[in-house]
C-alpha cells in the first residue's frame, strides 16, 4: 500500500513544512493514514512531534489567519481549525509524543490500523512497526498491545465502531480483551462513552454494532436496565426474546429510513410505495440536530434500543399464563431519560428520547382495530409528542416488524402502514390545518368581543377552539365566534 495525497493535502503539508524548523520532526499519525490507504475521505489530521507543538500550531494558524486553541495544556495538545470548501471545519491536532519516541507513541495507541505513521518530510516512507498495513489489507482489527483496551476502556466502543465501519473482523483473542476491558467503562468519561456509542448508532449497521456491545458487556456496563431484558422470553404476539426484539427493531428501522440495495422484500416494497413521497422529508428530519454533533437519527436509534426498557420492571404473569407489562411505556420513559442523562445527553435530547419511548405504543390500538386515525386523533397525538411524533410513527413500524418478524401478515402490515402514513402525512402535508392550525380568534378577541376577563379559562377555550379547527369543524371566523359563545355558556 502507498499513500496518495490529494493536491489540497499536499498544499496543506507544504504550508506546515514552511513553518516547521529544520531541526524538528513532525509525523502524521492515526486514522488519517488509515483512511488515505483505504481511499476514504479525510475529516481531520493528527500530528505528533517530540517537543511541545503549541508554538508550531500557533504559527500555522497565524500564517493562514485561522482558528487556534489549546486542547490540553498538560499533554501539550493544540488544534488548528481550517475551513474546507462548503465552509466545513477541517481540524488539525498537534500533540507531543506519548512516550519517549515515535515507536513508543504508536505502541500507546489503540489498534494497529491506527498506528501507522509518516514523516511530513518523507511522505513516501510509511512507518509501521506494529503491522498495521498488513492488518488493514487483511481486514483485521488488532490492538497495539494486550493492555491497549484496559488503558482506555472507551476503545472497546471505538473498536466495535471501526469493525462496523470497515466491515473488519476481530483478531484472535480480541473478543476476550474487549470483554475484560468493558467492565471498566463506568470509570471513564460519560461524554466519551456517548460520542463513541452514537457513532455506532449513526453508523452503517447499528443493530450489529449493538449486538457486539451486548456480546462484549458494553450494554451491561453502560445501560444495566437494558440487559435485564435477557431474562424476558418472547410473549405473544412477539416471536423473539425481549433483548433480541430490541435489537431487531434497530435492524428494521435502518431498512425503513434508508434505501437498501435490495427492495425485493414484500413489506419493504409496500412501505416504499406508500411512503416514497416522504423520503426526502424523513432524510432531512433525521439529519437535524437538537444538540450540535448528534443527529436525530442517532437519537431515534437510541430510543428504539430503549423502547421496551420498562418491561423487565413491569413483568408479571397473569392467571391465564400470559406475560403482562402494564405501564411499561411510562416506566420505560423514565428509565430512558436516566440512561440519556447518564451519557450526558442534553435535557432537550433526553426529553425527546423520553417522549418517543413513552409514546411508542400510541399508534398500536389504531392498527389493531384497523381504524384510521381521525383529524382529532392526529391533533392529540402531536399535542402529546410534538415534533418527536414523526419519530414515533417510524419506530411504530419497526416495532411491528420486529414483533411479528417472520410471522408478519399482509393485513397486519397494511394496518400499521395506514396509521403511520396518516400521521406523517399530517406532519409534512397538513401541518397548518391539522397539526397546528392558526387560531381564527385569539385571547384579545375573547376579551374585546366576548368580555372575558384574563385567566386560565381563556387558554382552555382557545385550546378547544384549536382542536375544533384541527378537526375541520370550525373553518371560518364566524364559526369560531359561535363556537366560543357556546363554550362561554358552558362555563357560566
Which among 116, 224, 304 is positioned nearest to 296, based on CA atoms?
304
Would you state the pLDDT for residue 3? 78
**Cell match 384574563: residue?**
454
Q: In the chain, what are the domains?
A: 7-145 (3.30.460.10), 256-425 (no CATH), 443-491 (no CATH)
Q: Which pLDDT tens digit goes with each residue over 256-301?
A: 998 766 667 899 999 998 999 999 999 999 999 999 989 999 999 9
Helix 389-404 / helix 375-385 crossing angle, nearest 10 deg: 100
Buried/exposed 136-167: b ≥16 CB within 10 Å, e otherwise = beeebbbbbeeebbbebbbbbbbbbbbbbebe
Q: Which residues pair with 72 in a beta bridge?
A: 77
| Coil, strand or helix at 110 | coil
Give the lowest-confidence range in 2-6, 131-135, 363-367.
2-6
Helices (H) and strands (E) in the chain, counts: 26, 13
Query: Nine-digit cell at 22?
Result: 529544520
Q: Which pLDDT tens digit goes with each residue over 390-445?
A: 999 999 999 999 999 999 999 999 999 999 999 999 999 999 999 999 999 999 99
Q: How far is CA 41 from the centre of its chain?
A: 22
| DSSP assigned state of 9 | H
C-alpha to C-alpha distance for 306 and 323, rounded to whole angstroms: 19
Would you state the pLDDT for residue 196? 97
Query: Nine-digit cell at 138?
Result: 487483511
C-alpha to C-alpha distance for 52 and 34, rounded to whole angstroms: 25
Query: Nine-digit cell at 185?
Result: 467503562
Q: Which pLDDT tens digit goes with each residue over 131-158?
A: 999 999 999 999 999 999 999 999 999 9
For 98-107, the CB contacts below 8 A with 24+ separation are 98/48, 101/50, 102/25, 102/27, 102/48, 102/127, 103/129, 105/29, 105/48, 106/29, 106/130, 106/144, 107/144, 107/145
Q: Which pLDDT tens digit goes with each residue over 28-75?
A: 999 999 999 999 989 899 999 999 999 899 998 888 888 888 877 777
Residue 292 burial (CB count, 10 A): 6
Burial class (CB in 10 A: 0-12, 13-18, 19+), 299: buried
Contact 446, 458 (CB under 8 A): yes
C-alpha to C-alpha distance for 113 and 110, rounded to whole angstroms: 9
The answer to whether residue 373 scores a pLDDT higher than 60 is yes
Q: Is the bond preceding 237 in cis, omega lying within 30 degrees of 0?
A: yes
Taking the model in full, what pTM does it have?
A: 0.92
Amino acid at each position: 500500500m502507498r499513500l496518495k495525497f490529494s493536491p489540497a493535502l499536499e498544499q496543506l503539508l507544504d504550508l506546515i513544512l514552511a513553518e516547521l524548523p529544520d531541526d524538528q520532526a513532525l509525523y502524521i499519525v492515526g486514522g488519517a493514514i488509515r483512511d488515505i490507504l483505504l481511499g476514504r475521505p479525510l475529516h481531520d489530521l493528527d500530528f505528533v512531534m517530540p517537543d511541545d507543538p503549541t508554538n508550531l500550531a500557533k504559527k500555522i494558524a497565524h500564517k493562514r489567519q485561522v482558528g487556534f486553541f489549546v486542547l490540553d495544556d498538560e499533554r501539550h495538545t493544540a488544534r488548528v481549525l481550517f475551513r474546507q470548501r462548503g465552509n466545513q471545519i477541517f481540524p488539525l491536532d498537534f500533540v507531543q509524543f506519548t512516550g519517549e519516541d515515535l515507536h513508543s507513541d504508536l505502541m500507546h495507541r489503540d489498534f494497529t490500523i491506527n498506528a501507522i505513521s509518516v514523516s511530513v518530510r518523507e511522505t513516501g516512507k510509511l512507518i509501521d512497526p506494529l503491522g498495521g498495513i498488513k492488518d488493514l489489507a487483511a481486514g483485521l482489527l488488532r490492538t497495539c498491545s494486550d493492555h491497549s483496551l484496559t488503558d482506555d476502556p472507551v476503545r472497546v466502543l471505538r473498536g466495535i465502531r471501526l469493525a462496523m465501519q470497515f466491515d473488519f473482523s476481530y483478531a484472535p483473542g480480541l473478543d476476550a480483551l474487549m470483554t475484560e476491558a468493558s467492565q471498566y467503562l463506568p470509570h471513564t468519561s460519560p461524554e466519551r462513552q456517548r460520542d463513541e456509542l452514537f457513532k455506532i448508532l449513526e453508523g452503517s449497521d447499528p443493530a450489529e454494532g449493538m449486538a457486539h456491545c451486548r456480546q462484549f458487556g458494553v450494554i451491561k456496563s453502560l445501560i444495566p436496565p437494558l440487559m435485564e431484558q435477557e431474562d424476558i422470553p418472547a410473549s405473544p404476539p412477539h416471536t423473539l426474546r425481549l433483548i433480541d426484539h430490541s435489537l431487531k427493531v434497530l435492524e428494521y428501522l435502518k431498512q425503513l429510513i434508508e434505501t437498501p440495495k435490495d427492495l425485493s422484500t414484500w413489506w419493504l416494497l409496500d412501505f416504499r410505495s406508500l411512503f416514497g413521497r416522504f423520503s426526502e422529508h424523513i432524510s432531512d428530519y433525521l439529519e437535524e440536530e437538537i444538540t450540535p454533533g448528534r443527529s436525530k437519527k442517532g437519537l431515534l436509534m437510541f430510543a428504539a434500543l430503549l423502547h421496551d426498557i420498562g418491561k423487565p420492571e413491569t413483568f408479571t404473569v397473569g392467571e391465564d399464563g400470559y406475560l403482562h407489562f402494564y405501564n411499561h411505556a411510562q416506566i420505560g420513559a423514565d428509565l430512558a431519560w436516566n440512561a440519556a442523562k447518564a451519557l450526558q445527553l442534553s435535557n432537550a435530547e433526553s426529553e425527546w428520547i423520553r417522549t418517543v419511548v413513552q409514546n411508542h405504543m400510541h399508534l398500536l390500538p389504531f392498527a389493531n382495530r384497523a381504524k384510521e386515525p381521525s383529524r382529532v386523533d392526529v391533533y392529540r397525538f402531536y399535542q402529546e409528542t410534538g415534533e418527536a411524533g414523526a419519530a414515533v410513527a417510524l419506530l411504530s413500524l419497526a416495532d411491528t416488524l420486529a414483533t411479528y418478524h417472520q410471522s408478519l401478515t399482509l393485513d397486519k402490515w397494511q394496518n400499521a402502514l395506514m396509521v403511520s402514513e396518516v400521521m406523517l402525512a399530517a406532519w409534512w402535508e397538513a401541518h397548518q390545518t391539522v397539526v397546528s392550525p392558526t387560531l381564527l380568534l385569539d385571547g384579545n378577541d375573547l376579551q374585546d368581543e366576548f368580555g372575558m376577563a384574563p385567566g386560565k379559562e381563556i387558554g382552555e377555550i382557545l385550546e378547544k377552539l384549536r382542536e375544533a379547527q384541527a378537526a375541520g369543524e370550525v373553518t371560518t371566523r364566524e364559526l369560531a365566534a359561535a363556537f366560543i359563545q357556546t363554550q362561554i355558556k358552558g362555563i357560566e
